[in-house]
Chains A and B, each alone.
Chain A
Amino acid sequence: MKRATRKKIVQAAGFFLLRACLHLVLAVLLLFLYDIGRKGGGAISWEFLTQAPRKGMTAGGIFPAIVGTFLVTLTTAVLAVPLGMSAAIYLNEYARQTRLTRVIRLAIRNLSGVPSIVYGLFGVILFVNTMRFGTSVLSAGLTLGLMTLPWTITASEEALKTVPNSYREGALALGATKWQSIRTNVLPYAVPGMLTGTVLGLARAAGETAPILFTGVAFFLPYLPKSPGDQFMALPYHLYIMATQHHQIQQVRPLAYGTALVLIALVLGMNMTAVVIRFRLRKKRR
Chain B
Amino acid sequence: MSDKPTSAKIETRDLDFYYGTARALKKVSIACPTNRVTAIIGPSGCGKSTFIRTLNRMNDVVPGTRLEGRILLDGQDIHDPDVDVVELRRRVGMVFQRPNPFPKSIFDNMAYGLRINGARNRRELEETIERSLRGAALWDEVKDRLDANAFALSGGQQQRLCIARALAVEPEVILFDEPCSAIDPVATARIEDLIQTLKSRYTVVIVTHNMQQAARVSDFTAFMMLGELVEFGATEKVFTNPGSRLTEDYITGRFG
Chain A residues engaging chain B, CB cutoff 8 angstroms: 96-97, 164, 166-178, 180, 184-185, 189, 285-286
Q: Are B58 and A171 in contact (CB under 8 A)?
A: no
Q: Are A170 and B61 in contact (CB under 8 A)?
A: no
Q: Are A175 and B86 in contact (CB under 8 A)?
A: yes
Instruction: Provide the bound-state CA to CA distance between A99 and B144, in Å.
Output: 52
Q: Are B116 and A166 in contact (CB under 8 A)?
A: no
Q: Which chain B residues in 62-104 approach chain A with CB under 8 Å? A: 63, 86-87, 89-90, 93-94, 96, 98, 100, 102-103
Choice from B86, B102, B166 contacting A167 with Cβ under 8 Å: B102
Closest residue to A183 on the B side, CB-wise? B116
Choice from B61, B63, B90 contacting A174 with Cβ under 8 Å: B90
Q: Are A175 and B90 in contact (CB under 8 A)?
A: yes
Choice from A169, A173, A176, A285 contacting B93 with Cβ under 8 Å: A173
Q: Are B169 and A172 in contact (CB under 8 A)?
A: no
Closest residue to B93 on the A side, CB-wise? A173
Q: Are B102 and A173 in contact (CB under 8 A)?
A: no
Q: Are B100 and A166 in contact (CB under 8 A)?
A: yes
Q: A96-B63, A97-B63, A286-B149 are in contact. Are A174 and B116 (CB under 8 A)?
A: yes
Choice from B96, B116, B151 contacting A184 with Cβ under 8 Å: B116
Q: Which residues of B contact A167 (CB under 8 A)?
A: 100, 102
Give B101 Cβ to nearest chain A Cβ, in Å: 8
Q: Are A169 and B61 in contact (CB under 8 A)?
A: yes
Q: Which residues of A contact B98 (CB under 8 A)?
A: 166
B48, CB-defined interface residue at 8 Å: no
B112, CB-defined interface residue at 8 Å: yes
Report, as a range, how many residues of chain B touch the other chain: 20 to 34
Instruction: Provide the bound-state CA to CA distance between A177 and B84, in Å.
Output: 10
Closest residue to A170 on the B side, CB-wise? B100
Choice from B93, B96, B169 contacting A166 with Cβ under 8 Å: B96
B155, CB-defined interface residue at 8 Å: no
Closest residue to B92 on the A side, CB-wise? A173
B113, CB-defined interface residue at 8 Å: yes
Q: Are B112 and A174 in contact (CB under 8 A)?
A: yes
Q: Are A175 and B113 in contact (CB under 8 A)?
A: yes
Q: Which residue, of B102, B115, B162, has the highest number of chain A Cβ atoms within 10 A?
A: B102
Choice from B58, B86, B151, B165 contacting A169 with Cβ under 8 Å: B58
Q: Are B102 and A185 in contact (CB under 8 A)?
A: yes
Instruction: Provide the bound-state CA to CA distance between A286 and B90, in Å.
Output: 28
Choice from B63, B96, B103, B117 contacting A175 with Cβ under 8 Å: B117
Q: A177-B86, A189-B103 are in contact. Are A172 and B61 (CB under 8 A)?
A: yes
B12, CB-defined interface residue at 8 Å: no
B208, CB-defined interface residue at 8 Å: no
B218, CB-defined interface residue at 8 Å: no
Instruction: Provide the bound-state CA to CA distance between A164 and B96, in Å.
Output: 13
Give B32 Cβ to nearest chain A Cβ, in Å: 17
Q: Which residues of B contact A175 (CB under 8 A)?
A: 86-87, 89-90, 113, 116-117, 169
B235, CB-defined interface residue at 8 Å: no
Q: Which residues of A contact B38 (CB under 8 A)?
A: none
Instruction: Provide the bound-state CA to CA distance between A192 and B86, in Å.
Output: 29
Instruction: Provide the bound-state CA to CA distance between A96 and B63, in Å.
Output: 7
Q: Are B94 and A173 in contact (CB under 8 A)?
A: yes
Q: Which residues of B contact A285 (CB under 8 A)?
A: 103
Give A194 Cβ to nearest chain B Cβ, in Å: 17
B157, CB-defined interface residue at 8 Å: no
B56, CB-defined interface residue at 8 Å: yes
Q: Which residues of B contact A171 (CB under 8 A)?
A: 102, 112, 116
Q: Which residues of B contact A174 (CB under 8 A)?
A: 89-90, 93, 112-113, 116, 165-166, 169
Instruction: Provide the bound-state CA to CA distance between A167 and B166, in Å.
Output: 14
Give B105 Cβ to nearest chain A Cβ, in Å: 10
Q: Which residues of A contact B113 (CB under 8 A)?
A: 174-176
Can you list 29 A-B contacts with CB-CB less than 8 angstroms, sorted by A residue number? A96-B63, A164-B100, A166-B96, A169-B61, A169-B96, A169-B100, A170-B100, A171-B102, A171-B112, A173-B89, A173-B93, A173-B96, A174-B89, A174-B93, A174-B112, A174-B113, A174-B116, A174-B165, A174-B169, A175-B89, A176-B86, A177-B86, A177-B116, A178-B61, A184-B112, A184-B115, A185-B102, A185-B112, A286-B149
Q: Which residues of A contact B87 (CB under 8 A)?
A: 175
4 additional A-B pairs beyond A170-B162, A172-B61, A174-B165, beta carbons within 8 Å, are A174-B116, A175-B116, A175-B169, A184-B115
